[in-house]
Amino acid sequence: MAENKLNDGMYVIGGLFIAIAAMMFLSPISLMEDDWVTLPLIGLPILGSLLLMGFSSAVPAWRKESISETIKYASLGISLIVLTITSLMMTDILMNVHWANITFNQYMYEVEYNWIESIGAEWHVGIDGLSMPMVWLTALLVPVTIITTWNEKKPWYYHPLLVLMGGCLIGVFVALDFFMFYVFWELTLVPMFFLILNWGGKERKYAAQKFFIYTFSASILMLLGIIILYLLQDPSTANSSITGRSFDMHEMIKNAQQEVILGNIWLGAGTQKLLFVLFMVGFLVKLPVVPFHTWLPDAHVQAPTGGSMLLAGVMLKMGGYGMFRIPISMFPHAVVEFQMLLMIIGMISLFYGAWVCLGQTNLKRMVAYSSVSHMGIILLGIASLQPLGFAGAIFMMFAHGLISPMLFGVAGAFKHHYHTLEIGSMRGMAKHSPWLGGNMMFSWMASLGLPLLAGFVAEVAVLVALWFEFGWWVIIPGITLAITAAYYLWSMQRTIFEGGENTQPPESLGDEKPKDIYLTEKVGLMALAILIVIFGIFPFIFFEMMSGYSSELIESVLLDEISGRWG
């Protein structure tokens, strides 16, 4: 029987090699000198993790334990290679790039290959001031997640899945071709589906299906938008394609920009609005905002710690990233038209998320709703249509990408060591598990926006921009931030401190003695904590390139529309 299994795995590995070889042969993707994206950032994690999983399935069940360490270290190795490359990119060492000075719609590390030539789909990747933070965040979170959840069950599939997830996410952030963008957008669902289904909580079956169907349905609307946008291209531009059209985002943004310079509305007002609505529905569900948020609490509560970390850390940011990359860059007229609507949705989302948090007793559910609330801040930053607001929104995506994985990492550790997620079930954690209590307190402080931590910078930037744009409306977010502080402090009091010396550990622990977190969890969480502090004190590391991107975006696309509105 063992041999039989081994044969299967050999089939897979052989098949993969043949498939890769065939693809190389049919559409030659040669690693050119400057192509630091295709193979190192996307190909390596995806193909590498598939190979690892194929290898694991080849090993018979009774020997799987013996390879688990190898697989873990291999996954960690792959993700660290990706992190190294992106860090070199970010710090201008790999190529001399000044991320803050890139003009709008100009991309670094840009490469184009023919992909499906007949319909004009290309493999077109590039990185600018908007995608660089996201790519780096993804590359960072994958190894951090792997380390934090080092002891997860069935590591021979779990850790490669995390790496696969990271590869797909980077694919979304670097894609400059609508077809490629959509392919990676949907591809991210598959590893997350398996992460929830196989390593999740009790209701994981329901949560995994709901997550997949909900977000897939929403992105179908986005697909409709892509198709309409595709059909609206001038059918004589792409000669190699038999439809005469292409999916090139770079080209479309350029067209939109040129029309703005000429004082026209690209594609016409009605079409812009239609496309804006179609794209925004896809992105708002992913973000998510009220009323499209219902998949998020279920997915988060049921997902394993690692799944939640990547889901909250990066997957939600796909929505925000997509908004900047597509609707805001391409449909300036519609953005200005729908500004109030975006603001109202953002306000509702922000307030409702925080309000619901007050009533939650489940730790993960509370953190999930706080994510909804923070995503409202991103939408508010966008609705302000100010450079500062945009930069604040992008920084919020980044900061939340550091904070929320920490929140979920802490919640996962709590669940792991105390077998419960009830907030009130535990008193005086600081006494029993000082490391866990300390990390929990730190992450909650970061999430409620304590000054000198990363979240504060973003919130202040967005609030200032809101004040400029909407005046006293800024009171609502102000109140909400107070509510945020309230629910975190209240939970903190109930969980970490209250009770003092003679508290009893929760009933769910039974006869066990309360333990503190493992070394791996400490390493992962502390890495995030240090980064949160660093980016809180020195936000300009990324804030500079973000505000560079934002002011370029506003100046080159939106300014005419915004000023035209006032007469």
Partner 1 sequence: MAYDAVSVEGIKYLLPELVLVSGILTLFIITNLGDAKIRLPLTRLRIPALLGGNRFKWNSDPRLPGVISVFTFILAIAMLIQTLGGDTCNDLVEKFCAETTILTTTGNNPVDLLKLDSFSRLFELMFFLALLLVSAASINRLQADSNPSNDDLDQLLDNRRQVDFHLLLLISGLGMTIVAMSMNLFVLFVGLELASLPIYVMVAFHKESKAGTEAGVKYFITGAISSAIGLYGMSLLYLWSGSLQLSVLEATWAAMATPETLPLFGISLLLVGFGFKISAVPFHFVAPDAYSGASSPVAALLATASKTLGFIGLMRILMIITLPETGDAAVWMLAFGILSVVTMTWGNLAALGSENPKRMLAYSSVAHAGYMMAALVAVAAWKNGSFVENNSGGVMAVELIIGAIIFHLFVLISFKIGAFMVISHLETEDEVTDMSSLHGLAKREPIIATSMFVFMLALAGVPPLAGFMSKFLMVTGIVQVASADVLTNTEIDLIPTFLGMHWTFFLAISIFINSAISLYYYLRIGVLMFFEESTTRLPLPKVSILRFVILLCALATIFLGINSDWLVESAIEAASTLFTNS
Which residues are near partner 1 by CB under 8 A?
A: 1, 4-5, 8-9, 11-12, 15, 18-19, 22-23, 26-27, 57, 61, 115-119, 182-183, 186-187, 189-190, 193-194, 197-198, 204-205, 208-209, 212-213, 216-217, 220-221, 223-224, 227-228, 230-232, 235-236, 239, 242-245, 265, 267-271, 273-274, 277
22 or 32: CB nearest partner 1: 22
Least distance to partner 1 from the beta carbon of 217, Å? 4
100 or 224: CB nearest partner 1: 224
Residues 6+ apart with CB under 8 A from 227: none
Residues 6+ apart with CB under 8 A from 330: 229, 252, 253, 256, 266, 275
Least distance to partner 1 from the beta carbon of 127, Å? 22
68 or 503: CB nearest partner 1: 68
SS3 call for 367: helix
Q: By CB neighbour count within 10 A (0-12 exposed, 13-18 middle, 19+ buried), where does 484 fall?
A: buried
147 or 334: CB nearest partner 1: 334
Least distance to partner 1 from the beta carbon of 296, Å? 18
275 or 310: CB nearest partner 1: 275
Q: Which two tokens stand for residue 145?
A: 């997640």
Q: What is the number of residues in the chain?
A: 567
Instruction: Kindly write down the DSSP assignment for every residue of 191-244, as one continuous string.
Output: HHHHHHHHH--TTHHHHHHHHHHHHHHHHHHHHHHHHHHHHTS-TTS-SSSTTS
134 or 238: CB nearest partner 1: 238
Locate tokens 């998020």: which residue?
Answer: 296
156 or 535: CB nearest partner 1: 156
Cβ atoms within 10 Å, residue 100: 17
HSE-up of 369 (CA within 13 Å, CB side)? 21
Least distance to partner 1 from the beta carbon of 236, Å? 4
SS3 call for 422: strand
Least distance to partner 1 from the beta carbon of 446, Å? 35
What is the rounded CA–CA span in Å between residue 303 and residue 195?
7
Beta carbons of 431 and 501 less than 8 angstroms apart: yes
Residue 217 phi, psi dihedral angles, 5° rounding: -60, -40
Least distance to partner 1 from the beta carbon of 11, Å? 6
Least distance to partner 1 from the beta carbon of 247, Å? 11
